[in-house]
Structure 1
Amino acid sequence: MVQISVLFVVVLILILLAVTTVRQGTVAVITVFGKFQRILRPGLNFKIPFIERIYMRVSYQNRSMELKFQAITQDQANVNFSAMMLYAVLNQESETIQNVAFKFVDDRSFMQALIRSVEGSVRAFVATKKQSEILQLRMEIIHHVKEQLDKQLEDWGYHLLDLQMNDISFDEVILQSMAKVVASNNLKAAAENEGQALLITKTKAAEAEGNAIKISAEAEKLASQLRGQGVALFREEVARGMAIAAREMENANLDASFILFSMWTDAIKHFAENGKGNTIFLDGSAENMQRTLQQLQSTLQKKN
């Protein structure tokens, strides 16, 4: 009876040692005498007591990690990065799980290698760029890191799900110099805009003045033409009137020189009335008057 009880206890212990459970989101790596044998899926599993043992449990759930590091640009400026990395086991295949379990001595070694790989990839990219370009290349940095790490992480049994550059900053001295550059560029742009505006204003003013002068010249030209035409018409009408008056006086058997004499006296009268105190010197001798009448008469004959 005692033997049966002992046997029952031994069997119960063996069953308890053979039964194991695996949590959801993880797999268990089984080894036999230190060599990989198989993996156990989530749920209730059995293993051979004392021969098979659980080497480690591998989680294939997503993992996150925050990184803070520095990089130096091509023009020797320090850039401070704050990043968040999201990664996970590539898949649940046996080969992948073996890589996760046996590539590194422990998780600490893997984390150190992963962090150094991300930092090294970022630093290699930043070293080829200038400080003024870094802030505009956030997405390019992320793409570069993922391209560099995808193959390497796959060999380790992982893959990079996401990488976010939460903050990219410079040293205080660099920030002050960048602020001065931005301020000077703004002043330069403002000065250029002001110069362009002044040039446009002066150009428009010159164009307006030129157009005004052109219009004034055209108007003056037209006025001169009209005045000339008026004077010509006046003279033509005067000549026509004198010719008619001369013919009428000839028909009446009167001397035509009387018209010229009358015009002469009217002109003197007009000078006297509108001269405003001006002095007019006239030769009132009979010879001068006779000479003047002859000149006027010859002019009249030429008009006819």
Structure 2
Amino acid sequence: MGWSILLIPFLLFGFFVLIASVFTVKQQTSAIVERFGKFLSIRNSGLHFKIPVFDRIAGRINLKIQQLDVMVETKTKDDVFVRLKISVQFQVLKEKVYDAFYKLESPHDQITSYVFDVVRAEVPKMKLDDVFERKDDVAIAVKTELNEAMINYGYDIIKTLVTDIDPDIQVKAAMNRINAAEREKVAAEYEAEAERIKIVAKARAEAESKRLQGQGIADQRREIARGLEESVDVLNNVGINSQEASALIVVTQHYDTLQSIGEHTNSNLILLPNSPQAGSNMLNEMIASFVASNQIGEQMKKDNEAKGITNKQKRTPPPPRAPEGEDLTY
């Protein structure tokens, strides 16, 4: 019984020693084991043993790809302050876990410092528009600089990304106004071009319409003249002379016009005169005017001929006079 009581403390001590000597390491993780403060070994994923009291786990290194976001405020070449968000994806090299653990106290601060240095050296060389267009150049420059610096500490820079470019709020408002003005300018140009096309098309349509209208009027008048000629020939064949035929045609067209006006209640056309003798009166007046004009023309012709004879007589020199005492008769 006494031995059993004494054995229990030894069993408990052995159990705690066993627990203290066993440890596990997760997947994609490395553990640093030290003995009396001196580096002993690097343990990878799985179950491992160490000597209690003598050995201890100094730290664990994450071998997964990690991301660090760095906000950098800097100035562009055209004196515009911008904030850039740089996302750095990095990973600890498995074969350089010792360097990653012992050479750097704070790797995140180290990476941040390099990002600040590179961005503030590259962005001031560019204008604001170039920063947006060449953000990949900034990312490549950061990656190249970080790789050269961090590879010696066991860190591999997988990729760097410029995930955000944020100018000052007033600058963004100005850029939006410029963009809106440019779009309005383009819209105005397209609207003006469309209006010009409409005007040209309308002018062409009107010109074609006028041409066809003129052609139609010409054809109409030609047919009217041909019809009148045929009508006069027909009337001459039945014993009606040309003057009577013309009077008959004028009177017929006069009454046809009156009938056409009466058929349209909303017509604004007024035909004067409208008496039954209007057609014959108009014809008589036309004939009288033709006769008067012919008489005036004949009289003007006679007057011109008389003036021509008088002028000719004036231009003919008188016969030479003989000197006194001389006879010019041959």
Write the mapping of 1:241-260 to structure 2, written as runs, cut at 5 A.
none
Distance 1:205 1:265 in 2: 48
Aligned to 1:275: 281
Distance 2:289 2:49 in 1: 151
Distance change (3 Å), C-alpha of 1:265 and 1:63: closer
Residue of structure 1 aligned with 2:90, choices 75, 78, 87: 87
Distance change (3 Å), C-alpha of 1:268 and 1:177: closer
The answer to whether 1:75 aligns with 2:53 is no
How far off its partner does 1:115 sit?
Answer: 0.9
Distance 1:38 1:282 in 2: 136
Write the mapping of 1:194-209 to structure 2, written as runs, cut at 5 A.
194-209=191-206
Asked whether the 8 Å contact 1:67–1:83 carries over to 2, the reply is: yes
Aligned to 2:127: 130
Aligned to 1:175: 172
Aligned to 1:98: 98
Q: Which amino acid aligns with 1:57?
A: R
Q: What per-residue deviation string (whole Å, max 9, x for no partner) do you get for residues 33-65 of structure 1?
A: 988653123455445789877654323245443
Aligned to 2:321: none
Q: What per-residue deviation string (whole Å, max 9, x for no partner) do you get for residues 241-261 of structure 1?
A: 55xx8xxxxxxxxxxxxx7xx
Asked whether the 8 Å contact 2:68–2:108 carries over to 1, the reply is: no
SS at match of 2:241: helix
Q: Which amino acid aligns with 1:187?
A: E
How far off its partner does 1:76 sit?
Answer: 2.5
Residue range with higher mean Cα deviation, 167-176 or 149-158: 149-158
Q: Which amino acid aligns with 1:275?
A: N
Distance change (3 Å), C-alpha of 1:265 and 1:126: closer
Unaligned runs of 5+ in 2: 1-9, 251-276, 292-330
The answer to whether 1:112 aligns with 2:109 is yes
Q: Which amino acid aligns with 2:23?
A: T
Distance 2:141 2:222 in 1: 82
Distance 2:222 2:289 in 1: 34
Distance change (3 Å), C-alpha of 1:281 and 1:77: closer
Distance 2:231 2:78 in 1: 89
Give the total of aligned pairs: 247
The answer to whether 1:21 aligns with 2:40 is no
The answer to whether 1:60 aligns with 2:63 is yes
Distance 1:131 1:27 in 2: 44
Q: What per-residue deviation string (whole Å, max 9, x for no partner) do you get for residues 63-86 of structure 1?
A: 443322113333222111245544
Asked whether the 8 Å contact 2:69–2:87 carries over to 1, the reply is: yes
Aligned to 1:226: 223
Q: What per-residue deviation string (whole Å, max 9, x for no partner) do you get for residues 85-114 of structure 1?
A: 443323xx3x3213312433x12xx22221
Distance 2:182 2:212 in 1: 44
Distance 2:175 2:225 in 1: 74
Asked whether the 8 Å contact 1:27–1:42 carries over to 2, the reply is: yes
Distance change (3 Å), C-alpha of 1:155 and 1:207: farther
Asked whether the 8 Å contact 2:22–2:49 carries over to 1, the reply is: yes
Distance change (3 Å), C-alpha of 1:282 and 1:223: closer
How far off its partner does 1:142 sit?
Answer: 4.8
Aligned to 2:262: none
Q: Provide the alpha-carbon RMSD of the alignment.
A: 4.5
Distance 1:185 1:195 in 2: 15
Write the mapping of 1:147-162 to structure 2, written as runs, cut at 5 A.
149-150=146-147, 152-160=149-157
Asked whether the 8 Å contact 2:25–2:31 carries over to 1, the reply is: no
SS at match of 2:42: strand
After TM superposition, the score normalised by the length of structure 2 is 0.56
Q: Which amino acid aligns with 1:182?
A: N
Q: What per-residue deviation string (whole Å, max 9, x for no partner) do you get for residues 136-175 of structure 1?
A: 6666755664465456544432234565655431113312
Unaligned runs of 5+ in 1: 1-7, 246-258, 284-304
How far off its partner does 1:198 sit?
Answer: 2.0
Aligned to 2:327: none
Asked whether the 8 Å contact 1:30–1:53 carries over to 2, the reply is: yes
Q: What per-residue deviation string (whole Å, max 9, x for no partner) do you get for residues 155-204 of structure 1?
A: 43223456565543111331232132123223322322332222122112
Q: Which amino acid aligns with 2:204?
A: E
Aligned to 1:296: none
Q: Which amino acid aligns with 1:173?
A: Q
Asked whether the 8 Å contact 2:72–2:119 carries over to 1, the reply is: no
Distance 2:68 2:242 in 1: 121
SS at match of 1:275: helix
Distance change (3 Å), C-alpha of 1:267 and 1:218: closer
Distance 1:224 1:208 in 2: 24
SS at match of 1:274: helix
Distance 1:85 1:123 in 2: 16
